[in-house]
């Protein structure tokens, strides 16, 4: 399953499928991008990050892709599990500072 831009804030997938969550950013000065997972009633949890000099970075079951040309970021989750159900946020940070700007988030629901 795949979320499309910021106009589809929910994504529902079957357990075992791959999930793709998309994020558009607007600040050309951003050089560092992070994906966070937030479960209900909890703070954001770091998943994976990528710097602007990279196009792709892989973690355990997760991959982040960065397309600077169109200012697009995506998070791919392989073999999605019920425990992956949460809201996923992308965040960007400018070269010169430490402030993070968060995207709108996507609610991922994994059906067993």
Partner 1 sequence: GAVVSQHPSRVICKSGTSVKIECRSLDFQATTMFWYRQFPKKSLMLMATSNEGSKATYEQGVEKDKFLINHASLTLSTLTVTSAHPEDSSFYICSAIPHRGGSLNYEQYFGPGTRLTVT
Contact 19, 1 (CB under 8 A): yes
Tell whether residue 105 is a contact of partner 1 (CB under 8 A). yes
Which residues does 6 contact at the CB level (< 8 Å), separation at least 6? 23, 24, 103, 104
Q: Binding residue for partner 1 (CB under 8 A) from 3, 25, 47, 103?
A: 103
Q: Does the protein bind partner 1 through residue 98 (CB under 8 A)?
A: yes
Among 74, 77, 93, 108, binds partner 1 (CB under 8 A): 93
- Shortest CB 90 distance to partner 1, Å: 10
**Would you say 69 or 95 has its CB closer to partner 1?**
95
Which are the contacts of 80, defined by CB distance < 8 A and separation ≥ 6? Answer: 13, 14, 15, 16, 17, 18, 19, 108, 110
37 touching partner 1, by CB under 8 A: no
For residue 81, which of 15, 30, 21, 11 has the smallest C-alpha distance? 15
Chain positions contacting partner 1, by CB under 8 A: 9, 32, 36, 41-46, 49, 89, 93, 98-105, 107
């Amino acid at each position: 399953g795949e979320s499309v831009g910021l106009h589809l804030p929910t994504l529902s997938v079957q357990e075992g499928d791959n999930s793709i969550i998309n994020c558009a950013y607007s600040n050309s000065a951003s050089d560092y991008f992070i994906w966070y997972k937030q479960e209900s009633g909890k703070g954001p949890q770091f998943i994976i990050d990528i710097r602007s000099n990279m196009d792709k970075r892989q973690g355990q079951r997760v991959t982040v892709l960065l397309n600077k040309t169109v200012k697009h970021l995506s998070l791919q989750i392989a073999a999605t599990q019920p425990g992956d159900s949460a809201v996923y946020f992308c965040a960007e940070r400018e070269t010169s500072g430490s402030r993070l700007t968060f995207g709108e988030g996507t609610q991922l629901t994994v059906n067993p």
